[in-house]
Amino acid sequence: MAIVKMKKFKLFIFDENRENLINKFQKFNYVHIDESDFDEDNFSEDDFTRPRSSEDLIDIDDKIKRSKEDIDLLLKFKDKENPIKAMKDGVSNISLEELTARAMTFSFEKIDGEIRNLVDKKDKNKSKIQNIDSKIAELKPWEHLSSSLKDLSKLGSVNIYTGTVSSNHADDFEGEVIKNDLAYLERVSKDKNFNYYLMIVEKSIDEEIKVLMTSYGFTPINIKSDGKVKDTIGFYEKDKDLLFEKNNKIEDELRTYLKYLEDFKYSYEHYRNEKIKIMSERKFLKTTEVNLIEGYVPEDKLSDLEKEIQKVCKDNYYLRAEDPDRDSKEVPILLKNNAFVSPFEIMTEMYSMPRYNEIDPTPFFAPFYFIFAGIMVGDFGYGILVFLATLFALKKFNLTDKKRRFFKFFNYLSISTIIFGLVFGSFFGGIIEFPSLIDPAEDSTLLVILSVILGGIHIFFGLGIKAYMNIRDGKPKDALYDVGFWYMAVLGAIGFILGKFLPQVAPYGKLLMIIMIIGMIGIVATGGREEKSRGAKIGWGVYSLYGITSYLGDFVSYLRLMALVLSGSFLGLAINMIAGMLFESNILGKLFAIVIFVVFQLFNAFLSYLSAYVHTARLTYVEMFNKFYEGGGIPFKKMIENSDYFNID
pLDDT at site 618: 95
pLDDT at 158 > cutoff 90: no
The partner residues of 187 in beta bridges, in order of sequence, read 197
Is 0.85 surpassed by the pTM of this model? no
**Using 50, 70 and 90 to split pLDDT, how confident is the model at 46?**
low
- Reported as a pLDDT band with limits 50, 70 and 90, residue 1 is low
pLDDT of residue 45: 58
The two most distant CA atoms of the chain are separated, in Å, by: 117
What per-residue confidence (pLDDT) applies to 580?
Answer: 85
Res 141 pLDDT > 70 = yes
Please say whether the beta carbons of 322 and 7 come within 8 A: yes
What is the helix (H) or strand (E) element at residue 585, kind and residue range? none
pLDDT band at 351 (very low <50, low <70, confident <90, very high): very high
- 40, pLDDT greater than 60: no
Cβ neighbours of residue 507 closer than 8 Å, sequence gap 6 or more: none
- For residue range 364-373, what is the model confidence (pLDDT) as tens digits? 999 999 999 9
- Report pLDDT digits (tens) over 595-621: 999 999 999 999 999 999 999 999 999
pLDDT for 430 equals 80
**Ordered DSSP codes for 190-221:** E-SSEEEEEEEEEGGGHHHHHHHHHHTT-EE-
Residue 227, CA distances (Å) to 140, 146, 150, 163, 222 in order: 14, 10, 7, 18, 14
The percent of residues in the chain predicted with pLDDT above 90, rounded, is 57
Whole-number Å distance between alpha carbons of 11 and 1: 30
User: Can you name the residues that pair with 185 across neighbouring β-strands?
Assistant: 199
Q: How far apart are CA 516 and CA 501, in angstroms?
A: 18
**Spatial CA neighbour of 290 closest among 36, 87, 549:** 36
Q: Which of 35-49, 212-226, 569-583 has the lowest mean pLDDT?
A: 35-49
What share of the chain has pLDDT > 70, as a percent?
Answer: 98
pLDDT tens-digit series, residues 505-532: 778 778 888 988 998 888 888 887 777 7
Average confidence score pLDDT of the chain: 90
| Nearest Cα to Cα of residue 618 among 383, 345, 366, 351 | 351
Asked if pLDDT for residue 3 goes beyond 80, the answer is yes
CB 275 within 8 A of CB 60: yes
d(CA 518, CA 541): 14
Distance of alpha carbon 526 from alpha carbon 475, whole angstroms: 14
Per the CB < 8 A criterion, the answer to whether 630 and 471 are in contact is: no
Whole-number pLDDT of residue 399: 83
Reported confidence tier of residue 356, pLDDT bands at 50, 70, 90 = very high
> Mean pLDDT lowest for which of 84-93, 177-186, 297-306?
84-93
**Highest-confidence range of 405-419, 547-561, 578-592, by mean pLDDT?**
405-419
For 407-441, the pLDDT digits (tens) are: 999 999 999 999 999 999 999 888 888 888 888 88
Summarised one tens digit per residue, pLDDT across range 22-32 is: 999 999 999 99
pLDDT at 642: 87
pLDDT tier at 133 (50, 70, 90 boundaries)?
Answer: very high
Using pLDDT thresholds of 50, 70 and 90, give the confidence band for residue 8: very high
Confidence band (pLDDT; 50, 70, 90) for 548?
confident
pLDDT of residue 499: 78
Encode pLDDT of 195-248 as tens digits: 999 989 898 898 888 999 999 999 999 888 888 889 899 999 999 999 999 999
Whether 145 contacts 229, CB under 8 Å: yes
Give ∠ CA 123-128-134 in degrees, rounded to 5.
Answer: 125
Domains of the chain by range and CATH? 1-50+295-336 (3.30.70.240), 51-132+238-282 (no CATH), 146-222 (3.30.70.2750), 342-630 (no CATH)
Which backbone phi and psi does 333 adopt, to 5 degrees? -110, 130
| Alpha-carbon gap, residue 225 to 144, rounded angstroms | 13
Residue 17 half-sphere exposure toward CB, CA atoms < 13 A: 22
pLDDT at 637 over 80: yes
